[in-house]
Structures are given as structure tokens and as C-alpha cells.
Amino acid sequence: MKKSLFLLVLFLSGCGSDDDNSKEAGGASSFDIVGASISDIHNAILNSETTCEIIIQEQLDRIESLDRQGPELNSLIQVNENALSEAIALDDKFEETGELDAMHCVAVTLKDNVNTKDMPTTGGALAFNQPDDDAYITRKIREADGIIIGKANLHEYAFGYTGGSLLGGIPRNAYDLSKGPGGSSSGTGTSVASSLAVVGIGTDTGGSIRVPSSVQGLIGLRPSMRLVSQDGIMPLAPFQDTAGPMCKKVADCAVFLNVITGYDSSTYSGQREEFAIDSPLMTNELQYQVETGVKDYSENLDANAFQGARVGVIRELFGDGDSVENLEVQRIMNAAIENMKLLGASVEDVTVPELEDTLNNFVSLSRYEFSYSLTDYLSSWSSVSDLHYRSFDEVYSSGEYLERSEGSFSFYALLGEDRWNDETYLKNVYERPTIVRERFTRAFDNTDVFGDRIGLGYDILIYPSITGLAGSYGSSPTSSGSANRISPFTGFPALTMPVGYSSIESELPLPVGMEMLGREFSEAELLSFAYAYEQAYQPRIEPTLTSDMLPPSLVEEGTAKSLTIENVYEGSNFN
């Protein structure tokens, strides 16, 4: 553990902006980065209102004042020390060409389980983990002239929804600093919601993009399995894992998805010919295009998408109304349903066959797949230069993780040893995909058990992203529910977006998210529906980050108490 603690000190001492080592950002600018979209940034640059250098300097200043000081959001584990020099290079490129690439000067936070060749990829705990190459999606972001401004904090090893880690401490919720950020992509959620970055990358095994997006007022998209390459991403359960965008604007998610999709020939892409776990990988770009139907997601956005659309409502996933928070979620969801009707949609309740059995009689594969897949990941590059651990067993025996992770490690070590002879594992990799996909396809098609039509089919199915609100600081959301399993169990895409805010349990308004489930590879349609709702109702409210948001227990002489590595490691701030 001493090795990681030593490097943690180096991280924290070097994670400020690189003002001191670079030239002053030239000139003043009236451009405000708070809440800015990709198109806002590009228009400002094209109209000579600002420069990339000024924009990135403002992002770095916000990180210093909000993440490292002030409210101490704890959203980032590392900040890119080359961010400002990269911005200057982009200004030079624009001056020479007069053209902007898709992600030009867009500050991106990557969840710190996504490989970067110029910054360690820690998973929240592995301080010496320095891959020798970028992940596929990292490379695509850089090629589109995006700037990786930092590596985002996460629930350590992506194990859960609380959101804290050994190296990063506990992130705060951008809307109420006394609340938790959701997980496991907690730091991505907080950094994007608080405009420390424009967009971010999360990963999702069982809700880890959608839960933090829901409690922090973001659009979070878990893509269809096989659409986005998993190469260079620290795994939890490869048969369920995927990366996806987290954004403040739907159009930004569309641009971002355009950038990170594409065929990848890597052994670890996860881009199988079929959904089945034993299906071979695709072998070329054409095959990928045909199978996924990938398209320009920006061009397909339609503000009138709900006109004539059919929306199925899964009432069983709304919660049982046993808490004031759940009643608030139901109230806001019902209002969103009425809003969709006003936009021209036919909205009906739909029954998913044997839904309770579907969600409760199958399990997440992380308990079986983490141990072997972490070893595969750690052994994929040489440890000669970084001296990183090379296997799950080495990490487990090192003790370099939060005390609360001990139980997960021991559990995963036991179950992962002989998974191919484990009946539960075999049931979940062979039976689950067929059964769950068939039941939800019947719901989409609106057919009975014999395949006969009950009525017209549905374009999307909707339900609350979670049935409660953000939990207290250091805790998971009050009720995450089981709906987060639907997308990973089916491989279908799911998008969460804010549809309202509640002050029932907080003096500050807390976001409520609605999740839309689409058919496999229907990301264009999901984004279009979200865009139509966003354009009509503008449901997102910017958080206000001030010291007044801090609860009295966290205030000492006007500033937030600092988290020490000791109290984080002891787990004293976690439930």
C-alpha cells in the first residue's frame, strides 16, 4: 500500500492547472464555459470570441477552485498537465486550417478505468498502473481534437454506486454537496455536471453511467453491447461492460457517440458477430457497419420525434410508493408522460412478461468475470517500466484498496476460480440472454406468448432511472431499483435524461431521471427522442456551486474539511 500512497501525494501535488509552466492565456473573453455545449464552443472560436487556450485555462481554473479547493468536489484523480499546451497547439492548427474537428477544444473527463498512455489508469487504487497505449476510445477522442482534461474519480474498481476510491476520496454531488454522486462513474458525473469538463466518458456494467447521470442531471447513454470497443478499459464483467457518453446536452452526446464508435480489430474490443458470449469477433469495418447500423447520430436528431411515436410505460418499475422520495419520482415521471403526449406521442402502459422473475432470478456477471478479466487486462502490457501488478491475485494480496472492497475481492476470487463449471454462471451467460431479450422484444412488439399482436408495437419503453433520489454523502442513491439490469442483460441501449427536480428531501433541487430503453442498435432513435423532449421543455437546470451548499457538519472556518487518506482508507465515510 505504501507504493500507492507515495504516488497519491505526487498526484495531489501535481494535479493543479499548468498556469505556472505555460504562458498566460492571451486576452479576455466574454465566453462562459458553464453549461456550454460543443456547438457553443465551436461557434465562439469561429467567431473569434475566444480561443482554445482561454477555454482550457478556464476549465483548469474551475478544477482548481471547485475540485481541489472550495467545495472540494473530488471528481478528478488526475489532471492532464499537458492540457494547456494541447490547447495552444489546437489554436495554431485552427489558425492554419480555419477548420474545426468534431471535438475541437472540447474538455473531456475519462473515468479512470479507461487507458491513457500519458496518465496512469488507476481504477481508483492502482497508482502505478501506467498503460503503454491509449484505449481505443481515448485514441478516437484525441484524433477528433478533444482534450482529455483529466481522469475522473470512480467507485473503486467500478464495484458499486457510492462513488469513492482509495486515491480519489469521495466525490460530491454537484447539486447538493451533502449528497452522493451516484456510481460507479461518479467523478465523470460530478465533473461534467459542474462544468469542469464539457462531456465525459463513463462505463456501465449494471447502471454505472445511468445512476450518476440520473442523480446529477445529465444525459447518460449506455450503448448497445458491441457498439463501442472495450479495448483498453479496465474490466469488471466483459459480457456486460460498455463505455458511453455523459453530457449536459443531447446534441453533445450525439457528437460524442459519433466519435467513439467504429470497428476495432483488437482482441479485447468485445465486438462480437452476435450477442452470444461464444460468438466470434467481427473481422472488418463493413461487417461492423452492417451488424450495428452505425450512423451519423447528429444528423438523425429530430425535434419532432414524438409526433406519431408510441411509448410503452413499464409501471412495475416505478416503485411501490412506500417513501416520499419514490412518490416524488412517480409524480415527476407522470408529468413527463403527459409532456410526451403533448408532443404527439401515444403513451400506454405495457407489461413485460415475467418481469420480476427476469430481473431477480438472474445475476450480474461481475462476480464471475472480474478476477480473470482483470488479470487479462493487467498482463496486456509490460510491467518493466511502471512495475504495476500483473494479476488479480497480486492486487488482492496487496491490500491496496478501500477496506470495504475486501469483501468484494474475496467473493470474486472464490467464484471466478471455476466459473465454467458453475451452474449459475452458465445459466447467466447462455440462458439469460435468450430469455431476457425475448421477453423485452415481446414488450416492444406488443405480442403475447404465442407471438400474436396485442396491439401496435412501441418505439421506446420508459421507466424511472432510479426510484429514489441522491443518497447522503458517502452513500448510494436511496433506491437504485432493479431497472438498471435491463440494458446489460439484454444488450439493448438505454438513455437517462433529467425530466424534473425535487426539493422534498433537500433545500436544493435534486434531479430526477427518466430512462428510455430502445431496441438493439437504436441509439439514433433514443437520442432523437431525448433531443425532442429537451428542445421542447429544456428540463436541465445548472447546479449552483457555493460554500452555502455545504452542510454544517462539513464546514470548518468557512471551508470544507479535507478528506485524508487515512479516513478514506478506513472506510469511515462510507456506508
- DSSP one-letter string for 305-373: TTTT-EEEE-GGGS--S-SHHHHHHHHHHHHHHHHHHHTT-EEEE---TTHHHHHHSS--THHHHHHHH
Using the predicted structure, report yes or no on whether residue 476 has a pLDDT greater than 60: yes
φ, ψ at 354 (rounded to 5°):
50, 50
- pLDDT of 355-406, one tens digit each? 998 899 999 999 999 999 999 999 999 999 999 999 999 999 999 999 999 9
For 464, list phi and psi in degrees, rounded to 5: -65, 140
Task: Based on DSSP, count helices (H) and strands (E) in the chain, helices before strands.
Answer: 19, 13
| Span of 199-213, 424-438, 516-530, 534-548 with lowest mean pLDDT | 534-548
For residues 525-550, give the mean pLDDT. Answer: 88
**Choices 3.30.70.600, 3.40.50.720, 3.90.1300.10, 3.40.1190.20: CATH for 2-16+31-569:** 3.90.1300.10
All three cell numbers of 328 = 416524488
| pTM exceeds 0.85 | yes
Beta carbons of 485 and 357 less than 8 angstroms apart: no
Name the amino acid, one letter, at 554: L
Q: What is the pLDDT of residues 244-253, one digit of tens each?
A: 999 999 999 9
Q: Flag the least confident range among 71-80, 290-299, 329-338, 477-486.
A: 477-486
Residue 139: its H or E element: helix 136-143
- Reported as a single tens digit per residue, the pLDDT across 455-468 is 999 999 999 999 99
548 — pLDDT class (breaks 50, 70, 90): low
* Averaged pLDDT score across all residues of the chain: 90
Q: How many Å apart are CA 347 and CA 497, to the nearest integer? A: 18
Cβ-Cβ contacts under 8 Å for 442 (sequence gap 6 or more): 352, 353, 448, 449
Mean pLDDT of the 29-46 span? 95
Mean pLDDT for the stretch of residues 509-528: 98
* Confidence band of 575 (pLDDT split at 50, 70, 90): very low
Cα–Cα distances (Å) from 143 to 103, 221, 500, 551, in that order, read 9, 22, 36, 43
Map residue 192 onto helix, strand or coil. Answer: helix
Identify which has the larger pLDDT, 497 or 357: 497
Q: Is the pLDDT of residue 565 over 80?
A: no
486 against 566, higher pLDDT = 486
d(CA 266, CA 264) in angstroms, rounded, equals 5
